[in-house]
C-alpha cells in the first residue's frame, strides 16, 4: 500500500491534506529546519499560529523548499488579544506579512474566550468572513469552540466554519464536539493528537502497536485518520517527523479502533485548558 496522504474536502469546496505538521512549542530558531525537514519528507500542510511566534520561520521554510506556494497548505490563527474586528484586521495583515504570503489556506479564531469581550466572538468571526471574501484566507474556521459556541455562530453568522480545531486524543475523544461537527459539515482537527506523548506508554496502545508492527505514535495517529479527523503532530526529531508521516500504508481493524477509543477519560483526560474557562491574553 503506497503511503499517500488523503486530501479531504472542506465545506467551502477547498481541500486539506489530512496529515500536517504542527509547530507549537518549536522555537523560532529551530522552526525553519524542522518545517524544511517535514516538507522534504512529504508533508504539505503546516499548522502555525501568531501565538507560536514562528510564522516568519514557517514562511521562510516554505520558500526555501522550492515548492510552489499552491502546493503547501498553511494554517495560522488569530491571537487572543485581537478579537475586536479592527484589531483582527491588523493582526491578520501582520500574519500575512510575517509569513511573507499574500494568502493563508486557513485562518482560525484560536480560542473563543467566552468570558472576554463581553462574550462576543461573533463580530470576530465576521472579520474572518471578510478575509475569506477578499481572498486572503481561502478557508476560515475556529479552534477550541464548544458546541454552544458553534450553535451561536450558526444562529448569528453567515459562513459555517470549515473546521474546528480542538483537543482530541485517546484520553479525550471529545465526542460531543466531533458529533456536532459531523452533523454540520465542520471538519474536526485534532490538536495534541498523541497528547504530547502521554498516550504512547499506554499498555493498550503498546499492545495494538505490537500487533500491527507499528510504533505507538503511528497507531494513535492512524486511529485519528480512520475517525476522519485531521492531525498535525509536532516533533523536531527527524526520525519522528518521518515516523509520523507513515500513516497511510496500514489500517487498524475495528477491534483495535474500539480498544483505543475505549481509553477515553472524558474531561479528566484533557491536557490543555478548558475552552469554556480559558481567558489568557498574551501581554
**106-135 residues near ligand NAD, rule: CB under 6 A:** 110
Give residue 219's Cα distance to chain centre. Answer: 19
Give the residue, chosen from 192, 209, 225, 269, that forms a contact with ligand NAD under the rule CB under 6 A: 192
**Residue whose C-beta lies closest to ligand NAD:** 22
Active site residue 52: yes
**52-111 residues near ligand NAD, rule: CB under 6 A:** 110
Per DSSP, 6 falls in state P
CA distance 89 to 67: 28
232 binds ligand NAD (CB under 6 A): yes
Q: How many residues does the chain have?
A: 283
244 binds ligand NAD (CB under 6 A): yes
Q: Report how far apart, in Å, the C-alpha atoms of 120 and of each of 104, 156, 275 are.
A: 24, 11, 14
260 binds ligand NAD (CB under 6 A): no
Joined together, the cell numbers standing for residue 263 give 481509553
Of residues 14 and 196, the one with the C-beta less far from ligand NAD:
196
Give the residue, chosen from 32, 140, 195, 208, that forms a contact with ligand NAD under the rule CB under 6 A: 195
CA distance 24 to 1: 31
Give the residue, chosen from 24, 103, 117, 248, that forms a contact with ligand NAD under the rule CB under 6 A: 24
Q: Report how far apart, in Å, the C-alpha atoms of 252 and of each of 161, 227, 238 are.
A: 30, 11, 25
139 binds ligand NAD (CB under 6 A): no
DSSP per-residue letters across 124-173: HHHHHHHHHHTTSEEEEEEES--HHHHHHHHHH-SSPPSEEEEE-BTTB-
164 binds ligand NAD (CB under 6 A): no
CB of residue 149 to ligand NAD, shortest distance in Å: 14
Q: Which stretch binds ligand NAD (CB under 6 A): 30-38, 179-187, 233-241, 246-254?
A: 233-241
Of residues 158 and 197, the one with the C-beta less far from ligand NAD:
197
Give the residue, chosen from 10, 233, 260, 269, that forms a contact with ligand NAD under the rule CB under 6 A: 233
Q: What share of the chain is helix, strand, coil (3-state, %, to 5)?
A: 45, 15, 40
CB of residue 40 to ligand NAD, shortest distance in Å: 17
Joined together, the cell numbers standing for residue 62 give 516554505
Cβ atoms 17, 229 nearer than 8 A: no
Give the residue, chosen from 17, 22, 59, 170, that forms a contact with ligand NAD under the rule CB under 6 A: 22
Catalytic site residues?
52
Q: Interface with ligand NAD by CB under 6 A: which residues?
A: 22-24, 47, 110, 143-144, 165, 191-197, 200, 217, 232-235, 240, 243-244, 272
Amino acid at each position: 500500500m503506497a503511503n499517500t496522504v488523503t486530501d479531504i474536502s472542506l465545506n467551502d469546496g477547498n481541500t486539506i491534506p489530512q496529515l500536517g505538521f504542527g509547530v507549537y512549542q518549536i522555537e523560532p530558531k529551530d522552526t525553519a529546519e524542522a518545517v524544511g525537514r517535514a516538507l522534504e519528507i512529504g508533508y504539505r500542510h503546516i499548522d502555525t499560529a501568531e501565538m507560536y511566534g514562528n510564522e516568519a520561520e514557517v514562511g521562510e521554510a516554505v520558500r526555501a523548499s522550492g515548492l510552489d506556494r499552491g502546493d503547501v497548505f498553511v494554517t495560522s490563527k488569530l491571537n487572543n488579544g485581537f478579537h475586536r474586528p479592527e484589531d483582527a484586521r491588523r493582526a491578520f495583515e501582520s500574519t500575512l506579512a510575517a509569513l511573507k504570503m499574500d494568502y493563508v489556506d486557513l485562518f482560525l479564531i484560536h480560542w473563543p474566550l467566552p468570558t472576554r469581550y463581553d462574550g462576543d466572538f461573533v463580530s470576530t468571526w465576521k472579520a474572518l468572513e471578510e478575509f475569506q471574501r477578499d481572498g486572503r484566507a481561502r478557508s476560515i474556521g475556529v479552534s477550541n469552540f464548544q458546541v454552544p459556541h458553534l450553535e451561536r455562530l450558526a444562529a448569528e453568522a453567515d459562513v459555517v466554519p470549515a473546521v474546528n480545531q480542538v483537543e482530541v486524543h485517546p484520553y479525550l475523544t471529545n465526542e460531543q464536539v466531533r458529533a456536532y461537527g459531523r452533523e454540520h459539515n465542520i471538519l474536526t482537527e485534532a490538536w495534541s493528537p498523541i497528547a504530547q506523548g502521554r498516550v504512547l506508554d499506554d499498555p493498550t496502545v503498546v499492545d495494538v502497536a505490537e500487533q500491527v508492527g507499528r510504533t505507538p505514535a503511528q497507531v494513535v495517529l492512524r486511529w485519528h485518520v480512520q475517525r476522519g479527523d485531521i492531525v498535525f503532530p509536532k516533533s523536531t526529531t527527524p526520525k519522528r517527523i518521518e515516523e509520523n508521516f507513515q500513516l497511510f500504508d496500514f489500517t487498524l481493524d475495528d477491534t483495535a479502533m474500539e480498544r483505543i477509543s475505549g481509553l477515553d477519560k472524558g474531561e479528566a483526560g484533557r491536557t490543555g485548558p478548558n475552552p469554556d474557562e480559558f481567558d489568557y491574553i498574551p501581554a
